[in-house]
Structures are given as structure tokens and as C-alpha cells.
Amino acid sequence: MAAASVTRKRKAGDARGSGGGGKSNAGRRESPAKRGSHAGAKYIGAHVAIRGGLWEAVESSAEMGGRCFALFLGSQRSWTRSALDPEAARRFRERCAARGYDPTRHVLPHGSYLMNCGSPRDDVFQKSRAMLVDELGRCRALGLGLYNFHPGSSLGSITADRCIQKIAGAIDHAHQQVPAVVTVLENMCCQGSTVGGQFSELKSIIDRVRDQSRVGVCLDTCHAFAAGYDLAAVGGVSAMLDQFDTEVGLHYLKAMHLNDSKGKLGCHLDRHEDIGKGQIGISAFQDIVNEPRLDGIPMILETPGR
């Protein structure tokens, strides 16, 4: 079984409560990103829209009280995009500075869902690799230090090991083209022929990347639960982190996505639910907030309807 064996379950009653959080009246007050910036702080925020310009994402995050945020760097529906406007990049960097966000550590751009850097189809692989380079270049222009993306899928046509080799090769290629930005692999839910659902698969990708100082992991709680890591059990969060440390290494953990799960443990379905309303339950997220090993990294809410 993927997760550590922890059998005592929390009461179903802990499904009450919410970790979501709508917009507050923070408006013109000092940005929460500026407050309490000691080493032990938790950085929790949301995935925000880029309607109106990339810089507006900064304002949206600050207004809802986020101490970090995630965003897409462009349309999720097209392989081709217009070049990044230097003025837009400048305004984004200025807004981050004004609102107290460190773009190298606490802004987590999410990669395009079109990408499949492990695809057995050469045309898709080449387009995915080119998009990875393009998105890292955008991160560089925006002053961002992290870039989160889904590793890829074999589509059932090649072995998982060959898929992992292709993903690592795409990362190496992108690293050669664009300096500094850390590529952050997201754990998956073991759905179909995707790779990255097991911690061992993430480690296999990392092991094949030449510059391992520029690779990390974003743990998605819904994906982990759907893959079989039992966060709903008493001690489940700690057990998962222990296992991650053993199989991958906690120094590779760069971010988290905080999502409850519509599906049951080990369902292999990527179905996010509002925090406290799903199968994981609110207590696990309370444990996450109180877990010192998760200090200092961006933790992003991706719940439905947010």
C-alpha cells in the first residue's frame, strides 16, 4: 500500500468547518504577506485568476489575505501564446514588491494542462518541451523562482520508466535554455497511465535530472489521498511526510496544494473538494497547519468554486 499503515480513523464529524476563505476586507490594509515573516510562519494562499493582467493576480491574492499565491502564466487552451509584454512583467514585479510577496519563494505558477513531457507521441513531446522552456522563460522575466507542473503520462504506449526518462530529459533541456528557475513536480493520483502518483516515481525523475538543485516537489493532498496515502487517519499527515522524507527527501518539498477529496482513499480520481467537506476531513488540514516541517513553503488552496 502506498501510504504508511495508520488504521485509526478520525471521526466523520471533523468534516465540519472550512479551510477555504473568501475575500476579506483587507483591501487597503497592509498586505498579509508583510506580516509575521518569521521563519516558522505558514504561507497559505489561493490560486488566483489573471483576468485583467498578471499583475492583477497579486492584488487578488492580497485582498483575500493570501500570504502566497498560484496562477497560470497564460491560456490553458492553446499551445501558442503571445510574447510576454515587458511592461506587464515590470508591473507584476512592482506589485509583488509593494504587497510584500517574495516572487522567488511564495509565488507558484502552475504549468499548462496541455503539456505531457512524457508523451510517447513525438509531436506532443516536442510541443510540451518547447512550452516548458517558454514557461520557464516567463518565470524568469517575472522574477519567479518556482514552476509547478504535472510530470506526464505514458498513455499506456511506453513503459513508466521510459516516460520518466523523457520527463527528466525535457527538464534537462529546459534547464539548459533558462537559468535559475526550479522545476517543481506535482504528485499525481495514479489515474490511468500518469506517472508521479507514487513517491518512488517522483524520486526516479529527480534522480535522472542533471541539476537536482533545480528540481523539487509540490504535494497535492487530494492527489496523495487518491493515490493511497491515508491523510484521513490519525497521524496520517505526519506518516506521509515521514514516507516522503524516506523515499524522496524533505529538502525537495517546495510547495503544497491543499485540497480535500471527493473520492475515497485510493480511488485514483482527481476530484477536488472544499476543505473539510470531503473524504480527508478538516483535522488533516489542521495537522498540516501545525506541522513544523511545512514552515516557509507556499501552500495553495485549489478548491472548487474558488
Q: Which residues are catalytic?
A: 77, 110, 113, 150, 186, 220, 223, 257, 270, 272, 302
| CB under 8 A, 24+ apart: contacts of 285-293 | 285/19, 285/221, 285/258, 285/260, 287/236, 287/237, 287/238, 288/221, 288/237, 288/256, 288/258, 289/42, 289/44, 291/237, 291/238, 291/241, 292/40, 293/241, 293/250
Which phi and psi (to 5°) does residue 184 adopt?
Answer: -110, 110
